[in-house]
Amino acid sequence: MIPNELYQQILEHMPIFCIDIVLYHQGKVLLTYRTQEPAINQWWIQGGRVFKNETFSQAVQRLAKREIGIEVEIITQIGTYEVFFEQGIFETKSGIHDVAVCFLVKPKDSTEIELDQTHTKWKWIGRIESDLDPYVKKVLEDAKIILS
């Protein structure tokens, strides 16, 4: 892990490489409600940064287990996106620039969701809701699994 002080400097000067996942089960997608920046108090897909020497597949598994408490199977790569946030977990002058590779996944065995501290609740949606962040909408549209 990068020490917080160094990570804050990196956030100020570089994009962060992330993996995001869209969990699909029985015709619905899981969204979680964020408790911290970026995207605080918004319904969001799960994800986070990639660690050095970690493969995409390893990052998907780690992030799914950490954020929603389940093991997943990758169905396909949805796409690569740039996401800009005014605020992140650390204060920056220049905001946050994420480069996110998004994967469509399904549960391996269980769908018993156990949230980490970055989320307070979850919901399954069968349609793309109009009040979602444009990034989340775009990823869900590109996944072509639920209707707008």
pLDDT at 88: 65
pLDDT at 90: 59
> For residue 120, is pLDDT > 80?
yes
Average pLDDT rounded to a whole number, residues 87-113: 86
Q: Rounded to two decimals, what is the model's pTM?
A: 0.91
> For residue 11, is pLDDT > 80?
no
The phi, psi pair for 7, rounded to 5°, reads -60, -40
Coil, strand or helix at 123? strand
| Gyration radius (Cα) of the chain, Å | 15
**Within a 10 A sphere around the Cβ of 137, how many other Cβ atoms?**
15
> 53-66: buried (b, 16+ CB within 10 Å) or exposed (e) per residue?
eeeeeebbbebbee
CA distance 109 to 101: 24
Length of the chain: 148
Coil, strand or helix at 22? strand
> For residue 46, is pLDDT > 70?
yes
Alpha helix (H) ranges present in 19-102? 56-68
Average pLDDT, the chain: 92
CA distance 4 to 60: 23
Average pLDDT rounded to a whole number, residues 75-85: 96
